[in-house]
Amino acid sequence: MSMIHIFDTTLRDGEQSPGASITPEDKVRIALQLEKLGVDIIEPGFPASSPGDFRAVQEISRRVRAAEICGFARAVRSDIDAAVKATEEAARRRLHLFISSSQIHMDFQLRKTREEVLRIAREMVAYGKQFVHEIEFSPMDASRSGEDFLYEMVEAVIAEGATVINLPDTVGYALPEEYGAMFTRVRSNVRGGDSVRWSAHCHNDLGLAVANSLAAIQAGATQVEVTVNGIGERAGNCSLEELVMAVETRKNTLLAETAIEKSEIYRTSQMVSRTMHLPVAYNKPVVGRNAFQHEAGIHQDGLLKNRSTYEIMDPEQLGVPRDMIVLGKHSGRHAIKHRVSQFGVELTEEQLDDVFKRFKQFADDRKIVTDDELAVLVGKAVDQAIVPFEFVDMQMMTAAASGSRVAAVTLRNTADGAVQTFTAAGQGPIEAAIIAMKQAMPVPVEFEHLELHSMASGEAAYCEAAVHVRARGCGYRGSAIDDDVIVAAAKAYLAAANEAVRSGASRAAAVSASSAVSEPKRDA
């Protein structure tokens, strides 16, 4: 097995996504998570680009000890000086130097001749080598470069001390067979090719970044440059999670593996998405909301019998919450029965028929049926309340003096039927509504994250809200649909809180029953 080193450039190339710029403090927080994820090399920024980036690279170099830190620089002395200074406290470090090698870049961007570019590449690698042993060199736009010149440039920088050669598909132009063949030819046609490590850096303009990176691995590359969630300029870079799981899932074919801690993949994806304000697409492989969701009845039935029927990865090993089955109009009886059993309710065949009929009618209108909505349908069939609290009404007011919002949320406690209104103020309407509902909960239920998605278009559009909460150290998720965004968010929080309360009650009952069984009988 060949060990593939994961070079993460989320904080450099990834941050170049429009609107993705983050503070130095956020960069440090993400870098520490990348270290926990197990990436081998972190490229935390472009030190010469701004004082903020310099500080971020410097602080990350001080605090990250397991991963190698890479200072990024153009083939320019001042860039190299900044990168050397910013990374000087790193436990292990390298310099990453680049200059364009394609004719179109040399003609229109650099406005230099081949001879001039070759001289700069040679001189700057030699200059950087005075300070750092590990030098990575990238001939930018390698996949569109003339191969004779590419050979000449790579050979020259190896002679000056480059230890890693990265061949970038800078504009995502190459096809997998072309990109893999380029590695094979360059490696075999340059002197010193067997003395350096080879790296792939692919952009996703044609959706081929992961495929091209896999082709490079098959052609001898032992390092792949990636970003979390595939973020980056234009259509982004090779996705860390997709590349890692492709290698993991097909390692016996690729004869390769990585050292990534898979259980940290989802957590890292969510951190980057929320910090950089770049939502993850529903259908994003590995970490997207739908990646392990199954609505079709045939798929749901197969999954309930054996997960491997329709899943080639185990989401729980990736840290993905096990929301395996989405209940919608295509769902079958087996999925409904399974989900209801998770509420602690066993239905008779007659009751299941009743619930299934109500469910189908409801799902035709709403597309997706949330757990709380299903619990209400079940409650009607069995004449028993399933959710601890039911949403009754909500009113929202604006405090004229402060501009804050005041929410009055009315809930029904299904245990005793009591209806009570809770009020609270907040800076925004969602905050006010959640603070109000927290007062009703028998345990602290802390709000963590909210996602809002439009479910239709036009004036009558309705919204789906998904809320993540934490209670007793465990995470819970609730969702709701409403044509009022604030109401949808409030109902989603209540759904998550109901799950937390219900889960806590189930655990308490189990502990109580266990204690009763184990308690020794006393003599009469």
* CATH number of 324's domain: 1.10.238
The reported pLDDT for the residue numbered 505 is: 59
Q: Are residues 73 and 125 in the same domain?
A: yes
Band the pLDDT of 256: cuts 50, 70, 90.
very high
Query: Each residue of 179-189: pLDDT tens digit?
Result: 999 999 999 99
- Of the residues 243, 276, 309, which one is the last residue of a structural domain? 276
The answer to whether residue 387 scores a pLDDT higher than 60 is yes
Q: What is the mean pLDDT of residues 305-330?
A: 73
The pLDDT tens digits of the residues spanning 92-139 come to 999 999 999 999 999 999 999 999 999 999 999 999 999 999 999 999
| Spatial CA neighbour of 240 closest among 225, 219, 222 | 225
Reported as a pLDDT band with limits 50, 70 and 90, residue 298 is low
Tell the burial category of 300 from Cβ atoms under 10 Å away from its Cβ (0-12, 13-18, 19+): buried
pLDDT (0 to 100) of residue 513: 44
* β-strand pairing of 389-398 with 405-413: antiparallel
Torsion angle, CA of 296/362/455/465, rounded to 10 degrees?
-100
Chain mean pLDDT for the chain: 89
Residue 463 sits in the same domain as residue 316 = no
CATH of the domain at 47: 3.20.20.70
Question: What does the pLDDT read at residue 325?
Answer: 56
- Which pLDDT tens digit goes with each residue over 446-498? 998 898 887 766 666 788 898 989 999 888 888 888 889 999 999 999 999 99
Could you say which of 221, 245, 276 is where a domain stops? 276
Mean pLDDT value of segment 348-353: 86
Instruction: Let me know if residue 230 belongs to a domain.
Output: yes
Share of the chain above pLDDT 70, in %: 90
Can you tell me the distance from the alpha carbon of 46 to that of 59, in angstroms, rounded to the nearest whole number? 13
Q: Indicate whether 516 pLDDT > 50.
A: no
Q: Of 382, 401, 430, which one is at a domain's C-terminal end? A: 382
Structure tokens belonging to residue 340: 């209801």
Residue 518 resides in a domain: no
**Mean pLDDT on 243-261:** 97
Strand segments, DSSP code E, in 63-222 are: 68-74, 93-100, 135-140, 164-169, 197-202
Average pLDDT, stretch 136-150? 97
Alpha carbon distance 217, 446 (integer Å): 44
Per-residue 3-state assignment (H helix, E strand, C coil) for 407-463: EEEEEEECCCCCEEEEEEEECCHHHHHHHHHHCCCCCCCEEEEEEEEECCCCCCCCE
Question: Is 292 part of a structural domain of the chain?
Answer: no
Tell me how far apart the alpha carbons of residues 388 and 290 are, in angstroms, rounded to a whole number.
28
- At 510 the pLDDT is 43
Q: What's the number of domains the chain is made of? A: 3
Q: Angle at Cα 282 formed by Cα 12 and Cα 216, nearest 5°? A: 50
For the segment 8-29, the average pLDDT, to the nearest whole number, is 94
Strand (E) or helix (H) holding 24: helix 24-37
What would the pLDDT profile of 36-69 be if each residue is shown by its tens digit? 999 999 999 999 999 999 999 999 999 999 999 9
- Please state, in angstroms and rounded to a whole number, the distance separating the CA atoms of residues 500 and 34: 30
With beta carbons less than 8 A apart as the criterion, state whether 31 and 60 touch. Answer: yes
Q: Which residues pair with 396 in a beta bridge?
A: 407
Q: Tell me the average pLDDT across 194-204.
A: 98
| Residue span of the structural domain in which 362 resides | 297-382
pLDDT band at 524 (very low <50, low <70, confident <90, very high): very low
**Is residue 50 assigned to a domain?**
yes
- What the block records as the tokens of 25 is 């403090």
> Is residue 524 assigned to a domain?
no
pLDDT given at position 506 = 53
Mean pLDDT calculated for residue range 193-221: 98
187 is a domain residue: yes
Range with the poorest average pLDDT among 84-93, 378-387, 424-433, 464-473: 378-387
